Chains A and B, each alone.
Chain A
Amino acid sequence: MKRRVCVVGVGLSDGPVTPDMSGIMLEAQSFRRALDDAGLEVADIEGLASAGYGGMHEVMLAEYLGLTPRWLESSSTGGSSFEFHTMHAFRAIEAGDVDTVAIVYGNNQLSASGRTLGTGGGGGGRAGMAMPMPMAYEFPSGLTLVGAYAMAAQRHMHQYGTTAEQLASISVQTREHAARNPNAMYRDPITVDDVLSSRLVADPLHKLDCCVISDGGCCIILTTEDRARDLAHRPVYVRGAAGGTTHHSIQAMADMTRTAGAVSGPKAFAEAGIRPSDVDMFAMYDSFTYTVLVMLEDLGFAPKGEGGAFVTDGGGNLRLGGALPTNTDGGGLSSTHPGMRGLFLLCEATRQLRGEAGDSQVAGAEIAVAHGSGGWLSTQATVVLGTEGES
């Protein structure tokens, strides 16, 4: 019989602006806080997963933390890496390969590099750097990272009549949540008009359709249900997970209105034994407003082409009290996005299911979904978490 797997510890580093901390210091700080949260010690950690921007990052991190793990994972799929890590740790713990795993990420993106990620070299890497192979054909066009998402949004608008106002509403509703989070980068309320009158970075995406650039680190710890019983918090169960990819460079995305989430979402939901309407809270990788909109459709919260209406219906379905409270910590759009955000989604979903989300608590939340998107809508992974294990 498969063993049940739980999230038993979460830790956030200081943030969102930490000029005195390196990326690996932020990783260590969040790791320590997750251990304390769980009531575990370093010696309890048998497996480590991480992704950085160079090879062997998880090995260097293990050494830095004083770990000699016997299980390692370093899927490097961009922002979704950590949902892939969770899926793989889930399987490994289920199968009995390892009991207790820490997944760690940290980056001082803002303090080290400034706000240039989205338009500082786009899909091609920084000027003068060797370009990943498909990017050699893309980078000379002058496309930016924001521009790649913008093209996908443009296509959705063309095909389904999605409006700039609907995209903007995602940012507005997310900002309402950030206002409740003292650690969010931007907390002042904004309106749809504010988004639409912020400057266009790459049509149709405005500055306020784009995530923030911050510093930050995050760690979650997974273990078996048996071990979780002795630990500090009510365990949060991993109930299903799936992932996939459709392309690397945006020119190879066959249908810009449909991502690999259309496969990973239903697959993870089926494993968890849930339907979209069962989801109480959605932690969605909001690199850009469009990323949220397309995934509302791909994961089945709204029919294809109707994501825009879903966002604004009922006074705003992503709000607390809406049909699908989304990014209750203020998301990447307003709170925290240190290069990659995937792990922060799992942390927020866990806090909600524990009932620890304070002013942003979704009352009675029992099922949460964390969905990571990496690259240029390239890689997608869905993790379903619940307050109860599967029966």
Chain B
Amino acid sequence: MTDFVAHNGVDWSESPKYLWPRPNNEDGEFWAGARRGELRIQRCTSCGKHQHYPRFLCTHCGRATLEWVTASGLATVYSFTVVRQNGVPPFNERVPFVVAVVDLDEDGARMIGALPKLDPAQARVGLRVRADFRPANDDSAFVDFAPLD
């Protein structure tokens, strides 16, 4: 057993190659950080706000004054769904699972992620969660979320 067993006993540790991230000059730091177990997001030194996913300009103030910071990984569920039907492998074998849009504790940053370990019956808006890193390969990891115990 790995650390990536979902609420329903499905093992999420292996993902097919087509799902692997394709890091580029803009977002390489996000994927590599996730592989190290760090949630790397952008912070604007002009307005102080954060953003995800990585971009060239700050989406809050429009300036190109972005730096990488390591987020706490703590977040609050803004909304969620329980995916019960998905025809694409490997998700067709993983259903049902929760996917949520979460507001990171760092002001301005919102992120989408799966919550494989969460029992769908326990999912709710406002749930406190933490980032949970699941390696895709040697260079990148997916960012899931898990309930705070």
Contact = CB atoms under 8 A, between A and B. Distances in A.
Q: Helix, strand, loop or mixed for chain B's interface?
A: mixed
A257 to B, nearest CB: 10
B79 A143 contact: no
Contacts of A119: 85-87
A196 B41 CA distance: 40
B19 A140 contact: yes
A142 B84 contact: no
Nearest to B59: A252
A199 B85 CA distance: 10
Contact of B112 (A127, A143, A201): A143
B101 interface: yes
Given A121-B87, A158-B125, A251-B110, A150 B81 contact: yes
Contacts of B52: 137
A154 B79 contact: yes
Given A139-B19, A202-B82, A121 B88 contact: yes
B112 A251 contact: yes
B78 A143 contact: no
A10 to B, nearest CB: 35
Interface in A182-212: 199-205
A116 interface: yes
For B97, B112, B120, which residue has the most chain A Cβ atoms within 10 angstroms?
Answer: B112
Given A142-B99, A158-B125, A251-B101, A137 B83 contact: no
A227 B3 CA distance: 71
B83 to A, nearest CB: 5
A151 interface: yes
Contact of B84 (A116, A122, A136, A203): A203
27 contacts: A119-B85, A128-B18, A136-B21, A136-B27, A137-B112, A138-B112, A140-B21, A141-B114, A141-B142, A143-B81, A143-B83, A146-B85, A147-B81, A151-B79, A151-B81, A151-B101, A155-B79, A200-B84, A201-B84, A202-B84, A202-B85, A203-B84, A204-B81, A205-B81, A249-B112, A250-B101, A256-B78
Interface of A: 116, 119-122, 126-128, 134, 136-144, 146-147, 150-152, 154-155, 158, 199-205, 249-252, 256
